[in-house]
Copies of this chain bind each other. A is one copy, B any other.
Amino acid sequence: MTRHSGTKRTVLIVGSMAFDDLELPTAKVRNVVGGSATYSALSAALFAPVRVVAVVGDDFPTADLERLRARGVDTKGITRAAGKTFRWAGRYTKNLASRTTLDTQLNVFADFRPELPESYRDSPFVLLGNIHPELQLEVLAQVQRPEFVAADTMNFWISGERSALGEVLKRVDTLVINDEELRELAAEHNIRRAARAVRALGPKRLVVKRGEAGAMLFDEHGIFFAPAYPLEDEIDPTGAGDTFAGALLGYLASEPAIDAGTLRRALLLASTVASFCVEDIGTARLIGLDRQTIAERLESLRNLVHAS
């Protein structure tokens, strides 16, 4: 697949699929279908064809896989293993500003070894979700010359898996990370210095997710800042970061070339799509989203920073 073949470029996403039990300020919900691959795939699929590599247990509803397929997600790479699907339980503070993990049950995710279907190996865009860096490397070993590789959010591995993480960083074009992770990874609080230090480890560009404080792109062109859309109704931030990364890759895959302008537009769009995720529980708002609604909010977001 080449850039100008007319074939749409596909995004390969590897990550978790899960059931989440969420204690939100507005509701207490159980068995919400989540996981990084779910959010990223639904989001990326708004803009480009998507392939997913993940594992679910025998308790995962067929209807939910069908729901992904209905949105253009290729689910051939989702393995159904004997046992239970990964479960996460968390409680948010009243203002949604932070959360506590109440329970994590890896279940079938504990033995997850990503195996790409033959048809996935030519994927030009790759998004490595928050899984063990060794597994991320296994994924990369199975893809033929991808054009664009991004890794998203690696909180669990920063302290314990520095060597494998270092290998991953050398092999990704773009690292998507939140500001706390960035500061931890760089051992530096100042965000510009931290970004420089992490870019020196490999990724030629860095996208820093800062929640309410927006997102920043650090690359050879300098710094770009995309604000967060100021929501009036914040319900559930679960998956917003994964949604951001998915939209980022999906948009980039849909564009003929990745230049400075495309990247800036991708950040604004990713910030826009992530804002919708927060407006309802789990993937509910993403599922119902159409391009026109996104375009309107993107326009508002652009206007938010527009000054003559």
A contact residues vs B (CB 8 Å cutoff) = 94-97, 189-193, 210, 212-214, 216, 222-227, 230-232, 234, 261, 264-265, 267-268, 302-308
**Please, which residues of chain B bring their CB within 8 A of the CB of A224?**
304-307
- CB of A192 within 8 A of CB of B232, answer yes
* Sample (18) of A-B pairs whose CB atoms are under 8 Å apart: A190-B231, A191-B212, A191-B230, A192-B232, A210-B213, A213-B213, A213-B214, A214-B214, A222-B303, A223-B230, A224-B304, A225-B227, A225-B230, A227-B227, A227-B305, A261-B307, A265-B307, A265-B308
- CB of B192 within 8 A of CB of A230, answer yes
Q: How far is the CB of A30 from chain B (nearest CB, A)?
A: 25
**Please, which residues of chain B bring their CB within 8 A of the CB of A232?**
190, 192-193
Distance A212 CA – B262 CA, assembled complex (angstroms): 26
Given contacts A261-B308, A308-B264, is CB(A94)–CB(B189) below 8 Å? yes
Distance A130 CA – B265 CA, assembled complex (angstroms): 40
- CB of A225 within 8 A of CB of B304, answer yes
Q: List 5 extra interface pairs beyond A216-B230, A227-B305, CB under 8 A.
A: A96-B189, A191-B230, A214-B214, A226-B307, A302-B307
Closest to A267 in B: B307
Distance A214 CA – B214 CA, assembled complex (angstroms): 10
Q: How far is the CB of A44 from chain B (nearest CB, A)?
A: 20
Distance A95 CA – B267 CA, assembled complex (angstroms): 27
Distance A231 CA – B223 CA, assembled complex (angstroms): 11
- CB of B189 within 8 A of CB of A95, answer yes
Q: How far is the CB of A306 from chain B (nearest CB, A)?
A: 8
**Please, which residues of chain B bring their CB within 8 A of the CB of A230?**
191-192, 216, 223, 225
**Please, which residues of chain B bring their CB within 8 A of the CB of A95?**
189
Distance A226 CA – B227 CA, assembled complex (angstroms): 9
Of the candidates B97, B192, B307, which one forms a contact with A231 in the assembled complex, judged by CB atoms under 8 Å apart? B192
Of the candidates B94, B213, B305, B306, which one forms a contact with A212 in the assembled complex, judged by CB atoms under 8 Å apart? B213
- CB of B223 within 8 A of CB of A304, answer yes
Q: How far is the CB of A84 from chain B (nearest CB, A)?
A: 36
- CB of A307 within 8 A of CB of B264, answer yes
Q: How far is the CB of A308 from chain B (nearest CB, A)?
A: 5
Q: How far is the CB of A143 from chain B (nearest CB, A)?
A: 30
Distance A246 CA – B113 CA, assembled complex (angstroms): 59
